[in-house]
A and B are shown apart, each in its own frame.
Chain A
Amino acid sequence: MKLRRIAALVKKDLKVFIREPASMFLLILFPLVLTLTFGIAFGGIDTGGASEFRIGVVNMDANSTSAEWSDSFVGNLTDLNGTAVSHYYTNETGQTDLLNGGLDALIVIPEGFGNSIDSYWDSPIDGSSWENTTIELYLDSGSMIASSAIPPMIQQVLFTTFYGEQAGSMELPIEIGSPSLVYVSDLSQWDFMAPGIFAFSALFMIMTVAMSLTVERDGGLLKRMSTTPVSASEFIGAKALTYMLVGMLQVLLVFAGSFAIGYRPNTDASGIAFAFLIVVIFTLTAVGMGLITAVISKSADVASGVAFIFIMPQMFFGTFMPLGGLTETLGTIMPTNYVTHALTTLFLRGAPVGTLSIWVDLLIVAVVGVLMLAIGALLFRRQTAKQ
């Protein structure tokens, strides 16, 4: 194996990338555009400014003798950070706004709400004497965030209405030991997505590897190269090295794009270095899958479609897409899932770089990468071997 030949092949591939607009877009511009658009769309800019939920209130107890309780409830809701409260006189008008997307939630305070609270304070330990009522809560079924975030907020407002402002500082025999909930609530959606973007960007290498190989094969270049002293291992080694360099550039671009829109991963320089390392190792998987794609594709056009067989499962089961149930099980066989898991551990959980689980993730990614590259190289060599 001669390093000079490998260097020449790497230089050639990089020149082709730079001079081929489609490759430039997929490998260089795409990660940047992806980072900026997703980052801006999912709150990368103005990190810490929580989303504002639009909550409609229908107060059916406004005219009762104990109306001060429902007024207090609405006041507490209004004072809560991240809410914009609007008032409705009837349930129907509120429901119409909710259905049209004008509200994230609608709360109907029932008649007797104040009496219920009075009955509680009259006899706090005798539940049988309470006048029970139910607050109706309607959530925007089109908003995943609203459905998960608003119910606990309402619970908090109700608690404050019952026990007053001092509720949060009441001395209890049991304490919650970690303030992590408060900390996490400052994060934007982008903070949760960003670790997955690194693997997501690198995934599209599968397509460019496959397309470049099919172009070289169909153009007779591989055959011509087979008449020179260049060996198959030099050729495939050069491809792997080229894409490792491209992978490093992609990580750099994703970091640069993220930083530009205000993203600050919860890690230090060693964590950032680890991100480079794991993505660069992951590119071996992409090159291997690209080789396999090239083998089963008759042309570059076909290769660009076939590549999605490898891209789609890894995209949906291994990057920033929510996992759960079957998808979580499928995710365990996706190398991207381990890249995302390691980067989430570093960037979001703030784990130090010495954490064992991220090195296990790296080991899995490396083993899969070497295996995929070996399988791809074997199939590709068999296809291009002399007959």
Chain B
Amino acid sequence: MSDNAIIVENVTKRFDSVTAVDNLSLEIKWGELFGLLGPNGAGKTTLLNVLATLLEPTEGGAQVGGFDVEHDGKNVRDIIGVCPQEPAYYGHLTGRENIEIFGTFHDVPKEDLKERTDELIKKIGMEDHADRKAKEYSGGMVRRVSTVMALIHNPKVALLDEPTVAMDPVSRRAVWDFILELKEKGMAIVLTTHYMEEAEFLCDRVGIIDEGRLIAIGSPKELMEKHNAKDLEEVFIKLTGKKLKEVV
């Protein structure tokens, strides 16, 4: 098996006249937690959707776990866990039922499903709410359940699109701990976020995308040193803010 869990080679994705991802290449290793940063509309979600087999690249190609996303989608879907930006869940089902049905979709053995669901519910601090209908949840609770729905089957590759948006600090910390635990198990994780402290705390490496292009890649420390910045937020503003000023 290759060292790389994800290989993106010159991927371009266009929607009519709009280029969402522009000739982007990167590699992510097994056990690596990779952060995708960028302003709104930079192309982060589009790239995740290509990796999740939801979109076909216009040019270039990508592999997840050694499987081509275009031609081997079924095998890719067997090994990934996807947490979408907008949490999609069955409002009339309870949080527990939502988690269990996604576990079944991913063929988690019946005998393990309940135990694993209980364990993850506890990890995200939802023990008291797991048997309420999901439509009654707050935004933060929905996000926590949505994250677990993506990870119930211990995927080899996790694609998490802004999983901690709208969470209170305690919930966010619980999800961070959960993600770090998964990384320790060797899972490759791609995480998009607007929270720079989150990327700095969690990610082994980050890639900053702007207008569909990868404009910087490296560990948070490397990027801070290279751009002479005190934190990742300053790096981000220097790289993307400069561009904005030029446009203005």
Contacts and interface: CB of A to CB of B under 8 A. Distances in A.
B88 A228 contact: no
B55 A19 contact: no
Interface stretch (B1-9, B76-84, B189-197): B76-84
B84 A220 contact: yes
A8 B107 CA distance: 11
Contact of B54 (A5, A230, A386): A386
A179 interface: no
A8 B104 contact: yes
Contacts of A226: 53-54
Interface string A8-25: 110010011001100000
B106 interface: yes
Contacts of B89: 219, 221
Contacts, number: 69
A387 B106 contact: no
Contacts of A8: 101, 104-105
B74 A229 contact: yes
A227 B86 contact: no
- Most chain A Cβ neighbours within 10 Å, of B91, B101, B102: B101
Interface string A220-238: 1101111111100000000
Given A8-B101, A8-B104, A386 B55 contact: yes
B97 interface: yes
B174 interface: no
Interface in B54-69: 54-56
Nearest to B102: A228
B129 interface: no
A291 B141 CA distance: 32
Given A19-B92, A220-B86, A221-B88, A5 B105 contact: yes
Nearest to A234: B105
Nearest to A8: B104
A228 B106 contact: yes
Contact of B93 (A12, A227, A386): A12
Interface in A294-319: none
A333 B9 CA distance: 54
A386 B78 contact: no
A223 B93 contact: no
Given A19-B133, A228-B77, A228-B106, A223 B54 contact: yes
Contacts of B82: 224, 227-228
Contacts of B84: 220, 223-224
B77 A15 contact: no
A386 B185 CA distance: 31
Nearest to B85: A220
Given A2-B107, A16-B90, A220-B88, A229 B77 contact: yes
A4 B82 CA distance: 21
Contacts of B91: 219
B209 interface: no
Interface string A191-221: 0000000000000000000000000000111
Contacts of A386: 53-56
B121 interface: no
B188 interface: no
A219 B77 contact: no
Contacts of B110: 4
Given A221-B90, A228-B102, A387 B55 contact: yes
Contacts of B97: 12, 15
Given A5-B105, A8-B101, A16-B90, A227 B78 contact: no
A201 to B, nearest CB: 23
A5 to B, nearest CB: 6
B52 interface: yes
A286 B90 CA distance: 23
A230 B90 CA distance: 16
B153 to A, nearest CB: 9
Name the 7 nearest CB pairs between A and B, nearest first. Answer: A220-B88, A227-B82, A8-B104, A228-B105, A224-B88, A19-B92, A227-B52
Given A5-B105, A221-B90, A228-B105, 13 more contacts: A5-B107, A8-B105, A15-B93, A19-B133, A220-B84, A223-B54, A223-B84, A227-B82, A227-B159, A228-B77, A228-B106, A229-B105, A386-B55
9 contacts: A16-B90, A219-B89, A220-B86, A221-B88, A227-B53, A227-B54, A227-B80, A230-B105, A386-B55
Interface of A: 2, 4-5, 8-9, 12, 15-16, 19-20, 219-221, 223-230, 386-387
